[in-house]
Amino acid sequence: MIIAIDGPTASGKGTIAKALAAHYGLPHLDTGLLYRAVGRQCMLAGGNPDDPEHALSAADFPGSLLEDPALRSEETGALASRVSIHPGVRAALLARQQAFARQPGGAVLDGRDIATVIAPEAEAKLFVTASVAARALRRWSEMQQRGESVSRDEIEADLAARDERDRTRAAAPLRQAAGAALLDTSALPIDAAIAAAIALVEQQVAAR
């Protein structure tokens, strides 16, 4: 079974994806981490993430980079959003993601174009979202726990800018796929969001 989960930054899709993977005993891939690695590699190489050639060159990053804690930083997240608009980068990472999705037994993948591009054949598709204010509060809380100093207004502005780039890019824009169930986590604690996600997956699988 393939479960495809899409949604904007800090919507809770990653946490929900991990929980679904554990619930169904499936491997999980955070595809956003691949784009973060490209953005990070581009920066380390002194490249410009807005330059399609520089970004494509960075798509050939070493596998060890996926273990770099810096990939989870806000700075790298912004770089990922910038390199992900380039069709060449998306094409370079497409085969890796599809191979993961189509492994025997299936998998859970989360990102921004899983149900629309990577695995449109998925048995279950979720579009996880939340208001910008709710997402900014979550991200701010996470950063406070890590000892990082940044204002909620700055985070909210950054999330809004990322949303705009993701929705309007020419290559695989962020959108709710046909047949995908919408899950708004704005007012849901994580346990309730996970329970709702499991229920939506069960409904979709039962309806096939």
Cα angle value 20/108/91 (rounded, 5°): 155
pLDDT level of residue 181 (50, 70, 90 thresholds): very high
Cα-flanking dihedrals φ and ψ of residue 4, to 5°? -105, 125
Q: Into how many domains does the chain fold?
A: 1
The string of DSSP codes covering 41-53 is HHHHTT--TTSHH
Decide if pLDDT at 1 tops 90. Answer: yes
pLDDT level of residue 175 (50, 70, 90 thresholds): very high
Give percent above pLDDT 90 in the chain.
Answer: 83
CATH (domain of 149): 3.40.50.300
165 found inside a domain: yes
208 found inside a domain: no
Question: Longest Cα pair distance anywhere in the chain, in angstroms?
Answer: 50
Residue-wise pLDDT for 86-143, tens only, equals 999 999 999 889 999 999 999 999 999 999 999 999 999 999 999 999 999 999 998 8
Domain that holds residue 178: 2-203
115 found inside a domain: yes
73 found inside a domain: yes
**pTM > 0.75: yes or no:** yes
pLDDT given at position 206: 95
44 found inside a domain: yes
Decide if pLDDT at 150 tops 90. Answer: no
36 found inside a domain: yes
- Of residues 6 and 148, more confidence is placed in 6
Q: What is the mean pLDDT of residues 185-204?
A: 97
- Exposure class string for 148-162: b at 16+ Cβ within 10 A, else e: eeeeeeebbebbeeb
pLDDT given at position 73: 87
Integer Cα distance of 4 and 127 in angstroms? 9
Residue-wise pLDDT for 45-71, tens only, equals 999 999 999 999 999 999 899 999 999
128 found inside a domain: yes
Is residue 128 helix, strand or coil?
strand
Sheet holding 107-111, edge to edge: 28-30, 107-111, 2-6, 124-129, 181-184
